[in-house]
A and B are shown apart, each in its own frame.
Chain A
Amino acid sequence: MLHYYILLPFLAALLIGLSAKKVNRIHTGWLVLPVPVVLFIIFCSKLPVLAKGKIVQSTADWIPSLDIQLSFYLDGLSMLFSLLITGIGSLVVLYSIFYLSRKEQLVHFYVYLLLFMGSMLGVVLSDNVFVLYTFWEFTSISSFLLIGFWFYRERSTYGALKSMLVTVFGGLSMLGALILLSITAETNSIRMMIANRSDILESDLFIPILILLLLGAFTKSAQFPFHSWLPDAMEAPTPVSAYLHSATMVKAGLYLVARFSLIFSGTDEFFIIVSGIGLITLCLGSFLASRQTDLKGILAYSTISQLGMIMAMLGFGTGVAILAAIFHIFNHATFKGSLFMIAGIVDHETGTRDIRRLGGLYTFMPISATLAFIGAFSMAGVPLPIFNGFLSKEMFFDSSLKLEQSAGLAGTFAEWIPIFAVLGSIFTFVYSMYLVFGTFLGKQKIDQLEKKPHEAPIGMLLSPIILIIFVIAVGLLPNLINEPLLAPAVAAVTGDLPHTHLAFWHGLNTPFYMSLIVIGVGALLAYTLKRWQPVYNKIPGKFSSDHWYQTMVNGLLRTSKSITGFYMTGSLRLYLSIILVFLVVSTSIFMYFTDGFTISFDDLAPVTWPEVLVGFVMAAAAIATIWMNQRIAAIIVIGVVGYGLSLLFVFFRAPDLALTQLIVETITVALFLLCFAHLPKLKKSDKSKSEKLIDLMIAVSTGALLTIVAIASHSSKSFDSIAKYFVDNSYKLGGGDNIVNVILVDFRGLDTLFEIAVLGLAALGIFAMIKYRDKGDMNQ
């Protein structure tokens, strides 16, 4: 059945694309909305099955010869992501109905969105790694299309291209890792790979596999140093940012790491790379967020930093850490989704997202403001039992403290990790406050806005309200989702089912003190933000990954331009020379390695002098054409070659050829004579000596190659001529004595038909060229 769930969005996309233009009366979004809602309900109905520890799976053949099956399975981890994809998907579609005006290209928008939904479901449900990869790249493409939705804006196309280049680079690295994995583990199925994990861990390819796979995950999840595509992707319409670039697609990297955790987790390399990059991303992202002035820019850096935090926990690999990671994936989707939607509402109602021009909006849009405060406080980890973000952040601190018992490098670095965790969280607190206080409180600057702000329509508020209800409900009763949703997901990552009871109050323990430090220092920094904000301007631009990206792309463009410019000169002669040289060189190499240069003098016809004489005259005439500087002489010399050829046909017992050649040569010469009067005189070549020498070398080597091929093919007959068939059957099947004629009109009649077609086309072309003068000239 899983196939149909994945297929449904694709089918819907097709239907919408074909029919939506005809349904004008309602917003296209209403037609799309049932798709994610129905899928969400279906996935919810599978929850009891998973809670029993079972999984749902289905398989169909796709490319059996390459061992690529469309095999899908739904376990706890896939379930969490499927619910996010369809659940947030439903809310985003609902929100977009009010966000996007009907004047926009709605059909395009929803087709892309459905494509994304289907491919994302494919990513999280695939068991076959190559199917997973295919869907993975599909998500990159649909993300590209959605970021570039307003393609007439320069920033949009720039952001779309950047996200495409970065994520596809990662995708290709991942493909490399998957191929190596399938070779090492001798299977294409993820579950079989996990079963064969010892083969992978002991293989020499372990490090390359790990690095390539993580490149895929890090680019997709915007981890340092690949994070810079995400802020630029904010040019997409806000529903897209809320959906792809905070709740689902950017979490595909986390999914990948979690999915392969059972293979890699516990190794030092996995810990140091994943946790290290995760912690750097957490701190860097949260630090840079307060520098932004665009609401969505702040949220983008915030997403980067939160993804880094989850990545770090996946790297820790302990049971507590994984539970915290899974829990935070869920929580982040709820509060960040609602914050994005509020940012969209602010943009929609005031006409700007620039925090410097906003302020004091609380009086105009109290509902939005309340929602934003709850979302931001939850993100900041304010210790109140109504914020789910606090619970998972507390678990993050807890897990960072419990690394001391771990073996290997994790134990060595254990003391340092809580410091990074606190540092990242302090800045998380700072930007969360900066975001909401700067927008909704403080001085009103209405005169700087394009329109007078007011509260958004209820339809637009509905989606963020639902998400905030989740924030509060999970904050109050976290165990509601623990047993059915989180525990099976953790089991899929670590291998055993956790029996942790989530609670708000654990007493006055170290994680709680860490939270207090975060809030204390965070509040101080947030209060004095204006004073220390100039620090950001001191960071040289050279070190930003944006700068690296730009340098690389520019370098690539320059290099490819100079390479293309080097040979694409517009001179046909140069192109021809390159083609000929390539032909000669490649054929010679090929013949050299396949023993093609065998020359045997057996089985040759005797040399007779009349033929040699004719041949000599022809050769002389052909060479003479090169020096002919008179048109009429050149034509006559060409005629000599042609007539000589028909004479040779006579000698070599080809009467039909001789006749045809004679007629054709006569007509050709006549045609040349007709035309030459209208053509300019032949000029002496004005080429330099070296140019002439190069021409000569190319010509001679091409001719020599032809001679060698002719002799070689004569010397090494690999199989008998098929001529006997024609001799035997010419009369029997074709009813003619002249074998050549029978071949032409009967055995190979279709060839002759096309020959006539070619001749007809040439005649038409000639007629058109002579008859229609200058009428098609564009310049006149």
Chain B
Amino acid sequence: MEIVMSILAGTLFAAGVYLLLQKQLLKIVLGTALLSHGAHLFILTMGKLNRGAPPILEKGITEYTDPLPQALILTSIVISFGVTSFLLVLAYRTYQSNKTDMMDQLRGTDDE
């Protein structure tokens, strides 16, 4: 199962990177969302899958799934939400101000 999930995480990552390399801002935002999904799955796979009960203490149970990756992912989900929404609004404002959302036309100064 871990191998299947590793491949899935890789696939999500590859799709995310491909979108990141596009010219349109909206695609880049979508790419970052895919990247964070891939990363979360990656971290979860690190802690081994399907071992023991959910990490909520109960009498009589001694085997629990690894809680640490879950805690890390929880933090990460919230942060990636913050990043995605920030980027989305940034893309919106960029378009409003510059009338374009193509990265090529958003190159800074001319002193190159």
Residues on A lying within 8 angstroms of B by beta carbon are 565, 568-573, 576-577, 580, 601, 603-608, 611-612, 615, 618-619, 622-623, 625-626, 631, 634, 638, 641-642, 645, 648-649, 651-657, 660-661, 664, 667-668, 671-672, 675-676, 678-680, 682-683, 685-687, 695-696, 698-700, 702-707, 710-711, 713-714, 721-723, 726-727, 730-731, 737-740, 743-744, 748, 751-752, 755, 758-759, 761-763, 765-766, 769-770, 773-774, 777
Contacts and interface: CB of A to CB of B under 8 A. Distances in A.
Given A604-B3, A703-B13, A714-B2, A652 B112 contact: no
A704 B13 CA distance: 9
Contacts of B24: 680, 682-683
Interface of B: 1-27, 30, 33-34, 37-38, 40-42, 44-58, 64-68, 70-71, 73-75, 77-79, 81-86, 88-93, 95-97, 100-101, 103-104, 107-108, 112
Contacts of B51: 605
Binding site of A, secondary structure by majority: helix, strand, loop or mixed? helix
A630 to B, nearest CB: 11
A565 B7 CA distance: 38
A777 B97 CA distance: 9
Contact of A565 (B11, B34, B112): B112
Contact of A739 (B64, B82, B85, B96): B64
A726 B7 CA distance: 29
A268 B26 CA distance: 74
Contacts of A726: 67-68
B104 to A, nearest CB: 7
A631 B26 contact: yes
Contacts of A612: 4
B44 A710 contact: no
Contact of B1 (A604, A703, A705): A604
6 contacts: A570-B107, A605-B51, A675-B88, A679-B101, A680-B26, A739-B64
Contact of A625 (B19, B84, B103): B19
Given A664-B78, A766-B86, 6 more contacts: A565-B112, A604-B3, A652-B49, A657-B77, A743-B68, A755-B75
Contacts of A661: 40, 77
Contacts of B25: 679
A648 B12 CA distance: 14
B26 A679 contact: yes
A667 B44 CA distance: 23
B105 to A, nearest CB: 11
A679 B92 contact: yes
Contacts of A672: 88
Q: Which 5 A-B pairs have the closest CB atoms?
A: A703-B14, A707-B10, A699-B18, A710-B6, A762-B82
Contacts of A743: 67-68, 71
A343 B89 CA distance: 68
Contacts of B95: 678-680
